A and B are shown apart, each in its own frame.
Chain A
Amino acid sequence: MGSGRLYAAVAAGSFRRYATYRAATMAGVFTNTVFGLILVYTYLALWDEKPHLGGYDQAQAVTYVWLGQCLYATLAIQGGGAEKDLMERIRTGEIAVDLYRPADLQLWWLAGDVGRALFQMLGRGVIPFAFGAVFFPMALPTSVVPWAAFVVTLLLATVVSFAIRYLAALSVFWLMDGMGVNQVLMITGIFFSGMVLPLNAFPGVFGDIVRVLPWAAQIQMPADVLMGETDPLGAFVFQAAWAVALLAAGRLLQSAATRRVVVQGG
């Protein structure tokens, strides 16, 4: 139980750290609202041209846009969460200090990223979403059950997002520089999470592939669960399976990497 408290404290500390930057948070709210507006109009034009694209009606497409803006910083879709600090610590060698801590490295960073995600959701995500709900017709459930299921998918989405970025950050043990990896994270994140276009509107075989990749767990799944477009249990299984697989891969890579750290630490 004691270790549970430790990780809760790490998460709380991370939450507070992000909460310090108030002006930056307000600026982020503004930016996400502006981008939401631009995207919402283009989606409406697109759905005007082709109603029921990807199985969504217009209200669902609008909901998808604002949910994307809400989750953009929360799930660090283009990167910039815990992995950024982790990469820096690996590059400078400070990671050696982390390894001496009587805590699990992966869980430690996961706790920090969850705290960050929670703050970004409350501080930066809720307002653009509420703005969208006030000014545009959205398809939101009125009963408690879909909202509860939505909260579960969000938690799972946070873990999957972290697990991908953790793997990417560990690569710096070998690459020594995170710039290229960050670019790959950005491209894959924006494109395969469905920031550009809902994944169910991707055409043909390409669409089929994109929808089973782990990035689909990040915006597409929460959106479909919220709007009742998919069976919540199926979504949970999909997300949890990716979370477990990616976290396990992270552990393997981590043990390989920490064997290197002795060499690097000299």
Chain B
Amino acid sequence: MGERSVLLEGLRAYRLIAGMWVRSSMTYRTSFVVTVFGNLMVTGLDFVGILLMFSQVDSLGGWSLPEIAFLYGLSVTAFGIADLVLGSMDVLGARMRDGSFDILLVRPAPVLAQVGADRFALRRLGRITQGAVVLGWALVSVDVDWSAPKALLVPVMVVSGAAIFSAVFVAGAAFQIFAQDAAEVQNAFTYGGTTLLQYPPTVFGKDLVRGVTFMLPLAFVNWVPAAYVLGRPYPIELPRWTAFASPLVAVACCALAGMAWRVGLRSYRSTGS
């Protein structure tokens, strides 16, 4: 009961703070439209890069363009959702340095909700839109014999993937409480993670694939389930049921990230000047 009310309170606080930022960004509508468009262009560059590569070759790591677009669309859409919900986590370090993090601690709302909603930016819809468009194109162009489990797996991947990336954001924020000035380490795992997943697992060394399957299980955002959907062998041997394990992995990641966040928060020492 106590846990539940904390969760509800957190969601309420998140909604209120995010709403405030949305209203403030809507004050200058033209500027808002321009930034959404700019966001779409910036994130679209990755895919233009992939298209450029495919202007020179027919396959990469043995995967065709629609198959890679499938990976790309899943990775970017899932990451885009996590980025929309929690993407402001990287300002945490700055807030701790200037002391304004302390203000969040004394407010009567869960800190995670406040940090997550901080500078909530609707312009990040640009990335989600871009990812969804590529995913849509991939779904109609890819050569797959669609069955019910395969079709169902697509939305499951997007939701679980968003949850896994969210966990990475939260764990990164917890790490920032210790490291303070190292927001970019988080970028290596968030932006680096989504970039990695845009390419087929066959491209990378087996140790790297093992690392992102068992240690930091980003592979469950798309690689493992997508390999099943596309009927592609995964570079390392995995039991068949793991293709459907993404939601479980997502729940485990979120639980671990939540614990890391609590530990981080408890060990926080203010600048105290």
Please, how many angstroms separate the alpha-carbon atoms of A75 and B146 in the complex?
A: 48
Residues of A within 8 A of B199 (CB): 38, 41-42, 45
Asked if B192 contacts A31 (CB within 8 A), the reply is yes
Number of interface residues of A (CB under 8 A): 35
Given A38-B195, A46-B56, does the pair A186, B42 have CB atoms closer than 8 Å? yes
Chain A 210-223 against B: per-residue CB contact (8 Å), 1 yes, 0 no? 00000000000000
Which B64-111 residues have a C-beta within 8 angstroms of A?
A: none
Asked if B38 contacts A180 (CB within 8 A), the reply is yes
Asked if A24 contacts B181 (CB within 8 A), the reply is yes
B218 CB to closest chain A CB (Å) equals: 12
Asked if B192 contacts A34 (CB within 8 A), the reply is yes
> How big is the B interface, by class?
35 or more
B185 within 8 Å of A by Cβ?
yes
B69 CB to closest chain A CB (Å) equals: 15
Chain A 159-203 against B: per-residue CB contact (8 Å), 1 yes, 0 no? 000000000000000000101100110110011000011000111
Dominant secondary structure at the B interface: helix
Given A53-B56, A187-B45, A201-B56, does the pair A41, B203 have CB atoms closer than 8 Å? yes
Asked if A49 contacts B59 (CB within 8 A), the reply is yes
A28 within 8 Å of B by Cβ?
yes
Given A35-B192, A38-B192, does the pair A49, B60 have CB atoms closer than 8 Å? yes
Residues of A within 8 A of B137 (CB): none
Residues of A within 8 A of B215 (CB): none
Please, how many angstroms separate the alpha-carbon atoms of A159 and B181 in the complex?
A: 29
Given A27-B179, A197-B53, does the pair A179, B60 have CB atoms closer than 8 Å? no
A contact set with B: CB distance below 8 Å: 21-24, 26-28, 30-31, 34-35, 37-38, 41-42, 44-46, 49-50, 53, 177, 179-180, 183-184, 186-187, 190-191, 196-197, 201-203
B contact set with A: CB distance below 8 Å: 31, 34-35, 38-39, 41-42, 45-46, 48-49, 52-53, 55-61, 179-185, 187-189, 192, 195-196, 199, 202-205, 208
